[in-house]
Amino acid sequence: MAGNSTKAIVAAFFANAGIAIAKFVGFIITGSSSMLAESVHSVADSGNQGLLLLGGRLSKRAPSAAHPFGYGRERYFWSFVVALVLFSLGGAFATFEGIEKIRHPHELESLGVAVGILVFGVVLEAFSLRTAVVEARPLRGNATWWQYVRRSRNPELPVVLLEDCGALIGLFLALGGVLLSDITGDPVWDGIGTLCIGLLLGVIAVVLAIEMKSLLIGEGATEVDRGAIIAAIEATPGARSLIHMRTQHIGPDDLLVAAKVEFEPDLDTAGLATSVDAAELAIRAQVPTATRIYLEPDLRRDQGDTEPPDPDTTIT
């Protein structure tokens, strides 16, 4: 796993573990359902970081006969599991608890303790989010943060970013619920805050599940990488044009490139091999994640070509 991902995950793990302990103590003292929902949320987040680290470790296993391209997709699988855990353990529990407390509200105790713990949680979550932002910024480039989350082939950083954003918003919702309960004298606001936390976690979990499902099924190279690969092939001495190409991420840092290329017809076997090798070197120089490259010499056929439409050779 890339070092930037690991640093962000570890920071999030320790932040969430510390927050979970503080929130559970706060729930025992105050009886706040918002505090309980946030406690479960933090426990789920801590477990999620453990799953992300597990995925990174398992993805490093050497290729086998059953998995000749290696285990890079372990990172996508465990990130998808994180989305399911966030939805089931975090979102579903908070939603259920919120509905129960709206139906059967009870007075809060020790407001100062609850507020102090939630503010402490905000500080730790802000530190965790800042770490994730710092580590993700070099990879984001000129894209917006939403575009980065949608387009990134790295599963861990988008997961941590969305989790930390959700955790911060959830803490403010919990703080609002507790304060409104005290100001209005109506404890139902605590239940409303809890319900809002549950709905928020559900939305984040659905977004993560959709993105991780797409990566798990298999996404091609990014638009920038596709353009660089095409340019590298067509600039190779001896190569006339790219006929057909397919790319797919086996893992975040492991891109498969398979292409048919038309070479100069007067090349002999040695010259053709030299040109193919040069094209592979050029591709890897432009796109270091292109670790598996298969180039097939072929002739361009204007008619009768049975290849399906090729989105990888079209730059949009």
**Angle 10-11-15 (CA atoms, 0-180°, nearest 5)?**
115
CA distance 121 to 108: 19
Instruction: Using pLDDT thresholds of 50, 70 and 90, give the confidence band for residue 283.
Output: very high
User: Quick one: pLDDT at residue 115?
Assistant: 84
Structure tokens given for 20: 């979970």
Note the pLDDT tens digit of each residue in 87-110. 777 788 788 878 888 888 877 677
* Least confident interval from 7-16, 55-64, 68-77, 289-298: 7-16
**Mean pLDDT value across residues 20-48:** 78
CA distance 296 to 155: 31
**Mean pLDDT value across residues 157-164:** 87
CA distance 288 to 232: 12
User: pTM of the full predicted structure?
Assistant: 0.76
CA distance 65 to 291: 19
- Of residues 180, 157, 162, the one with CA closest to residue 253: 157
Instruction: Using pLDDT thresholds of 50, 70 and 90, give the confidence band for residue 310.
Output: low
Top-level class of domain 223-313: alpha beta
- Residue 39 exposure: Cα atoms within 13 Å on the Cβ side: 18
User: Quick one: pLDDT at residue 1?
Assistant: 56
**Please, are residues 199 and 74 in contact by the beta-carbon 8 Å criterion?**
no
Helix (H) or strand (E) holding 248: strand 239-251
* Least confident interval from 29-38, 80-89, 102-111, 186-195: 29-38
Cβ of 180: how many Cβ atoms within 10 Å? 17
- Residue 286 exposure: Cα atoms within 13 Å on the Cβ side: 22
- pLDDT greater than 50 at residue 305: no
* Least confident interval from 29-33, 232-236, 274-278: 29-33
Domain-by-domain residue ranges, the chain? 3-217, 223-313
Q: Which residues contact 21 (CB under 8 A, 6 or more apart)?
A: none
Query: Which of 170-174, 215-219, 243-247, 301-305 shows the highest mean pLDDT?
Result: 243-247
Average pLDDT, the chain: 85
CATH number of 3-217: 1.20.1510.10
- Which residue's entry shows tokens 């599940």? 209
Name the percent of the chain lying above pLDDT 90: 23
Torsion of CA 212, 216, 219, 225, to 10 degrees: 80
Three-class secondary structure of residue 296 per DSSP: strand
Note the pLDDT tens digit of each residue in 61-79. 988 989 998 888 999 999 8
- Give the sign of the dihedral formed by CA 284, CA 286, CA 290, CA 293: negative
User: Quick one: pLDDT at residue 163?
Assistant: 83
Note the pLDDT tens digit of each residue in 192-213. 988 898 888 888 888 888 888 8
**Mean pLDDT value across residues 44-73:** 88
Name the percent of the chain lying above pLDDT 70: 92
**Mean pLDDT value across residues 295-309:** 68
**Please, are residues 26 and 186 in contact by the beta-carbon 8 Å criterion?**
no
Segment 146-150 long-range contacts (CB within 8 Å, at least 24 positions apart): 149/207, 149/211, 150/211
Q: Which residues contact 213 (CB under 8 A, 6 or more apart)?
A: 80
Residue 286: C-alpha distances to residues 67, 224, 228, 237 (Å): 27, 10, 6, 16
Side chain identity, residue 59: S
User: Quick one: pLDDT at residue 304?
Assistant: 44
**Mean pLDDT value across residues 273-282:** 95
User: Quick one: pLDDT at residue 239?
Assistant: 92
